[in-house]
């Protein structure tokens, strides 16, 4: 069987409520990333939550070196499985966006509001 099919099926099984309940994982909020990112890891949030709970790592710091849209990280943070997240990405534009979102929020929001199309 194709490796991608096996991976997809494994993730689907881990997302089932009965499996999450077995590991003490409640429903995980799907975080709204500002990006639709190809290859996004948001579907892995259930697996990551199970991994964290099973290894008694819940409440830890979660570091994601290639965050992209950060869907999985944001879901873990909003679900209370990690206490903080550290994001980075090889794509400098993404890195800059996340940096500005966290460290220059007001100016970033001003720029967004100024560029909303008015009809």
pTM value?
0.73
Distances (CA, A) of 82 to 11, 49, 51, 70, 86: 20, 9, 12, 14, 11
57-112 per-position pLDDT tens digit:
989 999 999 998 999 999 999 999 999 999 999 999 999 999 998 899 999 899 88
Position 16 in a domain:
yes
Number of domains in the chain: 1
Position 38 in a domain:
yes
Task: Return d(Cα 58, Cα 54) in angstroms, integer.
Answer: 9
Position 96 in a domain:
no
Q: What share of the chain is helix, strand, coil (3-state, %, to 5)?
A: 50, 10, 40
Position 50 in a domain:
yes
Position 65 in a domain:
yes
pLDDT score, position 44: 85
Q: Which domain holds residue 67?
A: 3-89
């Amino acid at each position: 069987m194709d490796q991608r099919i096996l991976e997809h099926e494994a993730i689907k099984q881990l997302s089932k409520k009965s499996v999450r309940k077995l590991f003490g994982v409640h429903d995980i909020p799907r975080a709204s990333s500002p990006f639709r990112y190809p290859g996004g890891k948001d579907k892995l949030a259930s697996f990551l939550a199970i991994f964290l709970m099973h290894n008694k790592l819940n409440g830890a710091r979660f570091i994601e070196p290639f965050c992209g849209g950060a869907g999985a990280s944001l879901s873990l943070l909003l679900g209370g499985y990690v206490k903080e997240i550290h994001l980075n990405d090889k794509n400098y534009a993404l890195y800059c966006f996340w940096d500005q979102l966290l460290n220059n929020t007001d100016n970033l929001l001003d720029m967004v509001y100024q560029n909303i199309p008015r009809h």
